[in-house]
Structure 1
């Protein structure tokens, strides 16, 4: 595991939307975030019928599991840590990427659109909730009441980078619980949802190839993360999805992961080395924060200020003509949507393969 030299790390342009001392940096920079937290979020998301329909149609998680994990994690990390210009550009191109994920629902009729505000709100809340849940279960523990309030306010602010409305984001733990209770009747463990969830729990698919002598250790790491992720999922959700794990394993994995993550977090270089194994594209995003490299401009912006400064539209209002053309191709002409957004995204989120 090569040491990352400070001279090789490019500083961000500014602090983005949160900055040092924020609860976002505290929670999202802990090693529970890119591992159990992120895996939990992408697994739980699949219970939403429109979302899993889009995932199944594109087949990205199956054809390029490691690359898809890498690109998606990089985007989430950029929202938390990257400079405002980079994040605005990423959010803008993501609208075009999601414009490809439209079509007819395979069960129950109707259509799906990855840019639909309801789908984007589901992604936003499952992601932020999962990152916090993993931090509290396998990391330092619960946030203070003030930190928790700040965390959900930050989640609402970050929602401005999606097509959903920040007004729809709950501002408390109770509000988030109420949201998930409202969503529960709409969730479905359809065959494609179960397939996706089972696949996304295979941690070994996102780990790099290792020499034969290292395969046992790699297997142990993958197995431990799978157990830890399942242990964060409520029983009703596991039963719905046909995922089984004993209460004993749920209990035993906690001290193992708490100690492992605490040791990894002691050294920024070690943490970056581990991150490079599961998401190499995310390292340049997180490294300046973990290695204490300040940005070129020490300022924190709001998304509105950043859009005005860098010349970007609100995601909900971005690329409307392009999205209309995509809809016409799919629903009018019966053709496959253009992959222009995916191609353009490689400059921002990394290569597709």
Structure 2
């Protein structure tokens, strides 16, 4: 169990970052449904993009170190929601370098893929935010009001400025989100590699939950709970692509069970701290000041443009063009593997890869 620090030992954030303490982002992303259900749903659905699947599948990282990949994903999203502006700006800059390595040939179409492609980044962003909202409304307190949903997506557009996509392309209402996913349906595909990856991610609790001790005895139940709960949120056309069958009775039963369990977890900060300490321990210092109501050193909420000007960064779409060109030359001209520059630089922020 992770021993939590006293208020005196918690390091305050430098500022409020990009979302104020009363934001819808804090309300939704701060609920325990996010790391347990929302992120799992997001990374599972993302694999239906053939380009993203190729980028992930070719590295083998999800198979070799799923626990590390999961922890880094949770940490990044938590940082955007809760960390200070300097930390998020630096992380966004390094993310472009990390993604510069994820380039190659998508085997089904034979076309090139690039993880920094704006359309791919928008797919990741919208799928992540939509999945977190879906988990919150399905297993958490319930539906947000129309005004809250609109504010949620307006805040998602702020988060878009830390990726290479255009914030203007972010849908802003439930109807626009539905239209976005409907527009993606013809582009979704499920090869054998896709189905294998999706089933691997749905069974991720077997990799993330420690194997030893009493906690290890819960792994089969935890895996069933997260797997069936995630499937219960998937549209049927996505289930068909993934080769997944699950009855309506199971959907109903696991939804009721998870709703009860999430309510219990939400009422207990020690339980949330313990859970996060197991799943993504480097995320604790990011959310702990918000959990304990510790004010930042400076009560500012910045815009991404203000942060870029203050810290000397450019928009992600315009960042590290020289590195990205060198990676293209290595992969597509010299037929060599891309360099690990971004991955190496990310480790002090997001933790070791191995």
Query: Shorter-chain TM-score: which interval?
Result: over 0.9
Whether 2:43 is the aligned partner of 1:4: answer no
- Tell me if the contact between 2:210 and 2:216 (Cα under 8 Å) persists in the aligned partners: no
Unaligned runs of 5+ in 1: none
Equivalent residue, structure 1, for 2:165 = 164
Equivalence map 1:292-303=2 (5 Å): 292-303=293-304
- Tell me if the contact between 2:330 and 2:338 (Cα under 8 Å) persists in the aligned partners: yes
The CA deviation string for residues 190-233 of structure 1, in whole angstroms up to 9 with x for no partner, is 1111111011111221122331x443323212211111111000
Distance 2:182 2:141 in 1: 27
Equivalence map 1:276-291=2 (5 Å): 276-291=277-292
- Tell me if the contact between 2:17 and 2:300 (Cα under 8 Å) persists in the aligned partners: yes
Equivalent residue, structure 2, for 1:110 = 111
Unaligned runs of 5+ in 2: none
Distance 2:209 2:24 in 1: 29
Distance 1:71 1:214, change over 3 A: closer
TM-fit CA distance, 1:269: 2.3
Distance 2:254 2:320 in 1: 45
Single out whichever of 181-190 and 217-226 deviates more from structure 2: 217-226
Equivalent residue, structure 2, for 1:56 = 57
Q: Secondary structure at the match of 1:336?
A: coil
Equivalent residue, structure 1, for 2:260 = 259
Equivalent residue, structure 2, for 1:185 = 186
Distance 1:214 1:164, change over 3 A: closer
- Tell me if the contact between 1:37 and 1:131 (Cα under 8 Å) persists in the aligned partners: yes
Single out whichever of 240-249 and 121-130 deviates more from structure 2: 240-249
The one of 205, 208, 211 equivalent to 1:206 is: 208
Equivalent residue, structure 2, for 1:83 = 84
Equivalence map 1:112-131=2 (5 Å): 112-131=113-132
- Tell me if the contact between 1:136 and 1:143 (Cα under 8 Å) persists in the aligned partners: yes
Q: Secondary structure at the match of 1:342?
A: helix
Single out whichever of 257-266 and 151-160 deviates more from structure 2: 257-266
TM-fit CA distance, 1:9: 2.1
Single out whichever of 260-269 and 108-117 deviates more from structure 2: 260-269
Equivalent residue, structure 1, for 2:75 = 74
- Tell me if the contact between 1:162 and 1:316 (Cα under 8 Å) persists in the aligned partners: yes
Q: Secondary structure at the match of 1:103?
A: strand
- Tell me if the contact between 2:13 and 2:289 (Cα under 8 Å) persists in the aligned partners: yes
The CA deviation string for residues 41-61 of structure 1, in whole angstroms up to 9 with x for no partner, is 000000001100100111111
TM-score by length of 2: 0.97
Root-mean-square deviation (Å) = 1.0
The CA deviation string for residues 124-145 of structure 1, in whole angstroms up to 9 with x for no partner, is 0000000000000000001111
Distance 1:90 1:215 in 2: 33
Whether 2:319 is the aligned partner of 1:318: answer yes
Q: Secondary structure at the match of 2:108?
A: coil
Q: Secondary structure at the match of 2:197?
A: helix
Q: Secondary structure at the match of 2:45?
A: helix
TM-fit CA distance, 1:262: 1.1
TM-fit CA distance, 1:334: 0.2
When the two structures are aligned, how many residues end up with a matched partner? 352
Q: Secondary structure at the match of 1:112?
A: strand
TM-fit CA distance, 1:2: 4.1
Distance 1:294 1:219 in 2: 40
Distance 1:231 1:320, change over 3 A: same
- Tell me if the contact between 1:268 and 1:291 (Cα under 8 Å) persists in the aligned partners: no
The CA deviation string for residues 30-88 of structure 1, in whole angstroms up to 9 with x for no partner, is 00001110000000000001100100111111111100111111001111110000000
Equivalence map 1:137-156=2 (5 Å): 137-156=138-157
Distance 1:292 1:96 in 2: 34
- Tell me if the contact between 1:3 and 1:269 (Cα under 8 Å) persists in the aligned partners: no
Equivalent residue, structure 2, for 1:197 = 198
Distance 2:113 2:137 in 1: 34
Equivalent residue, structure 1, for 2:345 = 344
TM-score by length of 1: 0.98
Single out whichever of 288-297 and 29-38 deviates more from structure 2: 288-297
